[in-house]
């Protein structure tokens, strides 16, 4: 049986009880998504002992395959409870246009051996499901896409489309049913390939959710599911995944791209077997990593949208090539560059490299043009960071309430992240 090392994010210290398994001088894994060089974990041997350094990634992965695994839970520091990462995701995804920015949020290694963990440690499945339900809700609100799709039926006293000779002989002629004919033809309606794929994934989600114990998060997901299911009542769930390899999505139905991608991940997560969706106390999961800094960025995006309702006021991932900044805020009251930093040091200090970075963004010609500010005028900068002790649940009315010492026009705001209630 393999060993699992449980830690919280940002851990930095000695590893106990694994010296006989960890024989190499260094173990390391880098997040594959394109957000720069980012280490999920680094284990280095010092003075005969192995020391582990974690950053802002949470998840579970093999350090030595089939021998020792690493589990990292979302928690900023020892004095606070475990971060409710799902509630952070809710805050972001209640704004439909944020969903398209989640492609770099997580990474799943389906090809690696699965790791057995407790249901409470399964961070991946709830995240996939919540994201899937939010996008599918938008589809139901807009109305399901209609398209032509193939149908095979045993028709009585009529022929339609192409006659299926083999099935007709086998099921009708040999069974003395001369008035019946198997026919293959096209119909126009909501039972197209994409909708059938979504319906199939919804059936898995419906089996999984009742046994998921994540308090208010589960209730919220069940509410979403109860809203969505009736919208798919007329959709057939019979489908082979190979049938939906490539599909052209009309720009009016842009949510389908994200929804079908998540549906495939959910079905793959459960091994395409719906009995695996009946949860037990122990689950098997593929190794995965969730980028908490990206999630915090999306959480801040949601808070900004809550505070500034006009879509045109906030520009996300503005810039090009190597000069992409988090947000540009362009309201009647504030014209500033906003950066989300998933670092606790801003509660009592600053990171001067971060300030140089955000100040450099504020000097870009494109930023001056977007904010319609004359060159030579100093553009304000705002850093939003997590603060579990004195942070705010919502963004304040005055974003310039706390200036960063020794800098002109640079401000900071601490926000409190939701904490998981363990019943």
Q: What's the pLDDT band for 420 if we cut at 50, 70, 90? A: confident
Question: For 350-408, how does the pLDDT look when each residue is reduced to its tens digit (9 = 90+)?
Answer: 899 999 999 999 999 999 999 999 988 999 999 999 998 899 999 999 999 999 999 99
Q: Measuring CA to CA, which residue among 33, 39, 80, 85 is closest to residue 61?
A: 39
Q: What is the mean pLDDT of residues 290-302?
A: 94
Burial class (CB in 10 A: 0-12, 13-18, 19+), 216: middle
pLDDT at position 216: 53
Instruction: Please say if the pLDDT value at position 258 is more than 70.
Output: yes
Distance CA 355, CA 199 (A): 47
Q: How far apart are CA 267 and CA 272, in angstroms?
A: 5
Rama region for 368: left / alpha / beta (φ>0; ψ in -120 to 50; rest):
alpha
Does residue 316 surpass a pLDDT of 60? yes
Q: What pLDDT is attached to residue 97?
A: 81
* pLDDT beyond 50 at 423: no
- C-alpha R_g of the chain: 26
Task: Name the band, by pLDDT with cuts 50, 70 and 90, for residue 61.
Answer: very high
DSSP for 133-201, please give it.
HHHHHHHHHH-PPPEEEEEEEEEES---SEE-HHHHIIIIITTT-TTEEEEEEEEEES-SHHHHHHHHH
Residue predicted with more confidence, 80 or 209: 209
Q: What average pLDDT score do residues 47-71 get?
A: 92
Q: Residue 92 gets which letter from DSSP?
A: H
**pLDDT reading at 62 higher than 50:** yes
Q: Would you say 200 and 237 are in contact if contact means Cβ atoms under 8 Å apart?
A: yes
Q: Do 35 and 295 contact (CB within 8 A), yes or no? A: no
Rounded average pLDDT over 69-76: 89
Say what the pLDDT of residue 77 is. 65
Q: Sorting pLDDT into bands at 50, 70 and 90, what band is 183?
A: very high
Neighbours of 74 (CB within 10 A): 22
In this predicted structure, what is the pLDDT of residue 43? 92
Question: Is residue 379 within 8 Å of 373, Cβ to Cβ?
Answer: yes
Greater confidence, 382 or 323? 382
The pLDDT assigned to 6 comes to 92
Q: Write out the two tokens for 262.
A: 């998540």
Long-range contacts of 10-17 (CB under 8 A, 24+ apart): 10/54, 10/55, 10/56, 10/76, 10/77, 11/52, 11/53, 11/54, 11/72, 12/51, 12/52, 12/53, 12/54, 13/51, 13/52, 14/49, 14/50, 14/51, 14/52, 15/43, 15/49, 15/50, 15/51, 15/52
CATH 3.90.25 matches 292-415: no
Under the banding of pLDDT at 50, 70 and 90, the label for residue 347 is: confident
Reported confidence tier of residue 212, pLDDT bands at 50, 70, 90:
low
pLDDT tier for residue 268 given thresholds of 50, 70 and 90: confident
Q: Calculate the CA 350 to chain-centre distance.
A: 29
116-127: pLDDT as tens digits: 988 778 888 888
Q: 325: closest CA among 362, 372, 292, 275?
A: 362
Q: Which helix (H) or strand (E) holds 422?
A: none
Mean pLDDT score of the chain, rounded to an integer? 87
Instruction: Answer yes or no: is pLDDT of 246 > 70.
Output: no
Q: Which of 130-144, 162-176, 321-335 has the lowest mean pLDDT?
A: 321-335
Predicted TM-score (pTM) of this structure = 0.83
Provide the residue ranges of all domains of the chain, joining segments of one domain with +.
1-73, 115-146+192-285, 147-189, 292-415
What torsion do the CA atoms of 370, 372, 375, 376 make, to the nearest 10 degrees? -110
Q: Is the pLDDT of residue 321 over 70?
A: no
**pLDDT for 213:** 59
């Amino acid at each position: 049986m393999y060993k699992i090392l449980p830690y919280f994010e940002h851990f930095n210290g000695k590893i106990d009880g694994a010296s006989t398994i960890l024989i190499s001088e260094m173990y390391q894994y880098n997040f594959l998504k394109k957000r720069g060089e980012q280490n999920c974990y680094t284990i280095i041997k010092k003075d005969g002992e192995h020391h582990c350094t974690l950053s802002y990634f949470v998840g579970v992965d093999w350090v030595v395959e089939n021998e020792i695994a690493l589990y990292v839970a979302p928690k900023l520091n020892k004095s606070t409870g475990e971060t409710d990462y799902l509630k952070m995701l809710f805050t972001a995804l209640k704004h439909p246009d944020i969903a398209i920015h989640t492609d770099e949020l997580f990474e799943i290694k389906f090809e690696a051996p699965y790791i057995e963990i407790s249901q409470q440690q399964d961070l991946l499945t709830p995240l996939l499901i919540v994201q899937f339900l939010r996008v599918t809700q938008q589809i139901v609100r807009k109305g399901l896409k209609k398209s032509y799709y193939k149908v095979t039926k045993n028709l009585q006293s009529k022929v339609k489309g192409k006659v299926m000779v083999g099935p007709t002989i086998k099921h009708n002629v040999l069974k003395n049913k001369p008035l019946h004919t198997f026919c293959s033809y096209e119909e126009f309606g909501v039972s197209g390939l994409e909708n059938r794929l979504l319906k199939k994934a919804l059936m898995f989600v419906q089996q999984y959710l009742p046994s998921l114990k994540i308090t208010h998060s589960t209730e919220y997901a069940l509410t979403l599911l109860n809203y969505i299911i009736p919208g798919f009542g007329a959709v057939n769930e019979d489908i082979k995944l190979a049938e939906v390899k490539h599909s052209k999505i009309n720009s009016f139905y842009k949510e389908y791209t994200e929804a079908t991608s998540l549906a495939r991940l959910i079905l793959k997560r459960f091994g395409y077997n719906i009995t695996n969706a009946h949860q037990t106390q122990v689950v098997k999961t593929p190794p995965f990593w969730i980028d908490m800094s990206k999630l915090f960025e999306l959480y801040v995006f949601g808070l900004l949208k809550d505070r500034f309702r006009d879509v045109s006021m906030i520009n996300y991932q503005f810039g090009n090539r190597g000069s992409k900044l988090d947000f540009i805020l362009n309201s009647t009251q504030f014209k500033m560059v906003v950066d989300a930093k998933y670092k606790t040091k801003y509660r009592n200090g600053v990171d001067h490299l971060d300030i140089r970075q955000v100040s450099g963004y504020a000097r870009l010609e494109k930023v001056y043009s977007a904010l319609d500010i004359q060159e030579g005028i100093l553009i304000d900068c705002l850093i939003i960071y997590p603060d579990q002790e004195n942070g705010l649940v919502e963004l304040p009315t005055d974003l310039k309430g706390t200036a960063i010492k020794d800098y002109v026009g640079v401000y900071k705001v601490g926000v409190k992240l939701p904490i998981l209630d363990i019943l």
